[in-house]
Chains A and B, each alone.
Chain A
């Protein structure tokens, strides 16, 4: 036995190390263990119930295993053990025991499944969520807002996300808000939640969706009703009038509008800016400067990052559907200046 003690200690030690890292590490901004909505709490409560039951079973069965191999280890000079072939009563007992424990998992599971099936209470804010390779589009029919990647919701008001996809299958997951649901072409899935604390909650696509699956981030911004109202007002305001643009910004607008060859290299082929263009393949840019990040949550939204992105999107997000269109430094500077005005 002596030989076994060293590695066993090492195994237990390494598990303790992991537990220590989890307990004392962090913060974990994308953690499913720190919910902030009714949906999140429901799943978390269920998970904790199952976790403690599982931990109990784990301790009992693993202890039994360790006990058996220590207690009944071979020693020299023993007579051969008795030939026992089975015991009906024991078999019945350990068939029933797990069945009973599983009842304590099954009942709350089914209750929670029905409670979190995405049905919306009266007066919920409905938002259409459309997955794209590799970014998120949000449409607020109630306000006529179309935006991308950063989902603004008011605290305390029920929200229903109606999920679908423009291309391959994606999965909307903001762990602190709640569980994930897939976004599938020609189907509509629903997620319902009421967020209870103000903050920025990170998330990302959870269904493998191609080359830049890892780069399909999202953020949920839960706001007080007054902040949310202000955001709605800003998003529904008309875009900056052309005659108030500076010379540089005006040149940026011209770049934005220019029909290039091939046509798919034109900004307006894919992007909408209210009153200017109506592209639908890329994010709506009417108020792009109001967003905190670009490229599906990858980079802070500032001039330097916008310039990097415009120079070569694929260098930042592999496989990005937005082409590098060979803009000169001057052209990029003008475009960035224009985009920064779209607040």
Chain B
């Protein structure tokens, strides 16, 4: 199965063999691209859902969509953006960039990596297939029972959600273990932990959060699935179950999940800022440790999502205090970023604009976060548009802007061409203005009395104009994304050729050609400092041609077969057909068996 490098290059592929090579690939770079493209398509779907939501809310009493459709749209918008867009867009960078940053030839388990991708794809398709049955999930992305129990949601909608999220959890967990092992074990000689680029560090923290948080939601989902399918009573008050059990489990997962979404973007920003300030990151160790601290403290704040459920003043006070504490390491990061630019030479290239936009918007999102960390004040804010404003400043202004910074930053490394700067600036400014028009008014819409998740509102509230402004902003964001797509299309042919290191950046991935050869590094580099390309002690140059033949893992179709087995099992569960589940289980077992005994050289 091992393929010598020269053969890979010589292959001139037909369409069929190209498809086959992507279907069986175990190359972390190709899997990264698959993650990126797939997640971007889901991002567009989630964005389209958002635009329909905003169109419906453009004025009071609108009847563009029905209540039923609206509830499906906001449920799927949240679920899609969190699980199918932001997480896998980050995963695209984990896959493509992390091995390059640590000087590795691939991830620790290349086939498991492919398996993660295919399970993610199938899970995403399964969730969205619900639209074809007119039964998209409609219980909110948080899926509170007993609204999501069989009694109040008898349809297939919640079944799709419960099953789909469990499938996606498998993908996240497999990837989580893979990257923890990769980062700890596959570092090049000399790449000590405190020499890891901050993006790789934040990836590591994120993956620890994934492998600890996803089991929690899996347990919650299994309980709900058992309640719905087999009549258990975990969330049935009549039988002595407790509705708050779900809320505690869900947010025990849900708050670490917030950091799973934002830490990778913080990592990207920590790479982009030094490069375009021509200065090393200020307080590297402090930035790393505050990231770790955020990850750890993220486990102690979950009940701040539940200040209105009546936990009592002691629990409310404790969770207020822990939530306020988490603002400290977050603030420390922001100050270190500012200090990085202080005294530097700030270049306003597109990646830098998005990184600066991240800081500017994350400050707003962080401060509104402090506002509802106060349990008492939060009684007026929770479940209103004020919180919608907050999460979008953090997740759009934060995570999505960070991801776009990463896309513009690493695009030349991945494709060999620089994206168009002028289009990039249009994209940034339209998106920046659009997001502020869309999300800033939401603070007031919430404080002036509009709850979240309502498909219509009364003209008496006096909120028509503010809602219209917000809708206009949302469509500006839509236009900015179209400009980005045009930029991608334009860059394919006309983008400036990048060379190894168009930004004169410091980290290891810029020492090798763009796009990197299949083996990444012709020889495994010896790392002598944290900023190999900027340090006085130069690292040994990496030859352009490998001095000796490199054996690379070949492709394997067993990961996609195994993943398909899981899809069949999930479909069987939806159909309530034991036979289909068993069939899927058989495919899964055969897949794992064949995979385990496949001759596969790493």
Contact = CB atoms under 8 A, between A and B. Distances in A.
A143 interface: no
What is the size category of the interface that chain A forms with chain B?
A: 35 or more
Given A182-B310, A189-B310, A21 B466 contact: yes
Nearest to B341: A68
A24 B420 CA distance: 42
Nearest to B349: A74
B377 A46 contact: yes
A189 to B, nearest CB: 4
A90 to B, nearest CB: 7
A25 B462 contact: yes
B511 interface: no
A205 B451 contact: yes
A74 B276 CA distance: 9
Given A58-B367, A68-B342, A179 B280 contact: no
B364 A208 contact: no
B14 interface: no
Given A116-B376, A212-B67, A15 B286 contact: no
Given A65-B359, A81-B343, A109 B432 contact: no
A73 to B, nearest CB: 5
Interface stretch (A91-99, A246-254, A263-271, A280-288): A91-99
A209 B147 contact: yes
Given A14-B437, A86-B285, A106-B324, A68 B147 contact: no
B317 A50 contact: no
A86 B309 contact: no
Interface in B260-283: 277-280, 282-283
Contact of B278 (A64, A81, A117, A181): A81
Interface string A32-69: 11000000001110110011001001100110110011
Interface in A171-216: 171, 173, 175, 178-182, 184-187, 189-190, 202, 204-215
A279 B94 CA distance: 60
A10 B280 CA distance: 33
Contacts of A275: none
A98 B68 contact: no
B429 A27 contact: no
Contacts of B363: 58, 61-62, 65
A117 B314 CA distance: 10
B16 interface: no
Interface stretch (B98-106, B192-200, B379-387): B379-387
A95 B320 CA distance: 19
Contact of A214 (B237, B371, B455): B455
B345 interface: yes
A318 B71 CA distance: 12
Interface string B340-356: 01111111100000001
Contacts of A73: 345-348
Contact of A28 (B332, B449, B455): B449
Contact of A65 (B243, B360, B436, B456): B360
A181 B364 contact: no
B277 to A, nearest CB: 7
A18 B451 contact: no
Given A21-B465, A80-B278, A204-B451, A68 B346 contact: yes
A181 B310 contact: yes
A31 interface: yes
Contact of B376 (A33, A99, A112): A112
Contacts, number: 308
Interface string A207-251: 111111111010000000000000000000000000000000000
A105 interface: yes
Interface stretch (B34-42, B119-127, B440-448): B440-448
Contacts of B284: 85-86
B465 A181 contact: no
A26 interface: yes
B140 interface: yes
A304 interface: no
Interface in A112-133: 112-118, 133
A287 to B, nearest CB: 24
A25 B447 CA distance: 14
Contact of B433 (A7, A22, A187): A7
Nearest to A297: B458
B327 A98 contact: yes
A84 B339 CA distance: 9
Contacts of A99: 328
Contact of B321 (A106, A185, A209): A106
Nearest to B466: A21
B379 A179 contact: yes
Contacts of B341: 68-69, 72
A41 to B, nearest CB: 12
Given A21-B466, A61-B363, A82-B343, A168 B152 contact: yes
A17 interface: yes
B343 A84 contact: yes
B379 A116 contact: yes
B340 to A, nearest CB: 9
A84 B274 CA distance: 11
Given A50-B370, A73-B345, A74-B346, A214 B456 contact: yes
A135 to B, nearest CB: 15
B371 A84 contact: no
Interface in B284-333: 284-286, 308-310, 312-313, 316-317, 320-321, 324-325, 327-328, 331-332
Contacts of A116: 376, 379
A233 to B, nearest CB: 30
B279 A31 contact: no
Contacts of A69: 341, 346, 348, 356
A202 B320 contact: no
Contacts of B364: 58
B109 to A, nearest CB: 35
A327 interface: no
B338 A68 contact: yes
Contact of B335 (A7, A51, A94, A178): A94
B279 A84 contact: yes
A115 B316 CA distance: 12
A74 B343 contact: no
A30 interface: yes
B377 A43 contact: yes
B376 A81 contact: no
A86 B338 contact: no
A156 interface: no
B185 interface: no
B313 A206 contact: no
Contact of A83 (B152, B280, B368): B280
B437 A110 contact: no
B240 to A, nearest CB: 9
A99 B339 CA distance: 19
A109 B243 contact: no
Contacts of A50: 370-371, 374, 377
A230 B345 CA distance: 75
A113 B341 CA distance: 41
Q: Which 8 pairs across A and B sit closest by C-beta, in order of nearness?
A: A179-B379, A30-B449, A214-B454, A189-B310, A7-B429, A74-B345, A112-B376, A32-B380
Interface of A: 3-4, 7, 10-11, 14-15, 17-18, 21-22, 25-33, 42-44, 46-47, 50-51, 54, 57-58, 61-62, 64-65, 68-69, 72-75, 78, 80-87, 90-91, 94-95, 97-99, 102, 105-106, 109-110, 112-118, 133, 167-169, 171, 173, 175, 178-182, 184-187, 189-190, 202, 204-215, 217, 318-319
17 contacts: A30-B448, A32-B449, A47-B374, A68-B338, A72-B342, A73-B346, A75-B345, A86-B284, A91-B286, A109-B320, A116-B379, A168-B152, A179-B380, A181-B308, A185-B146, A206-B452, A213-B71
Given A116-B379, A204-B454, 18 more contacts: A7-B432, A14-B469, A18-B437, A22-B466, A28-B462, A51-B371, A81-B278, A85-B283, A86-B284, A102-B327, A105-B373, A109-B377, A167-B146, A171-B308, A173-B383, A173-B451, A182-B309, A187-B310
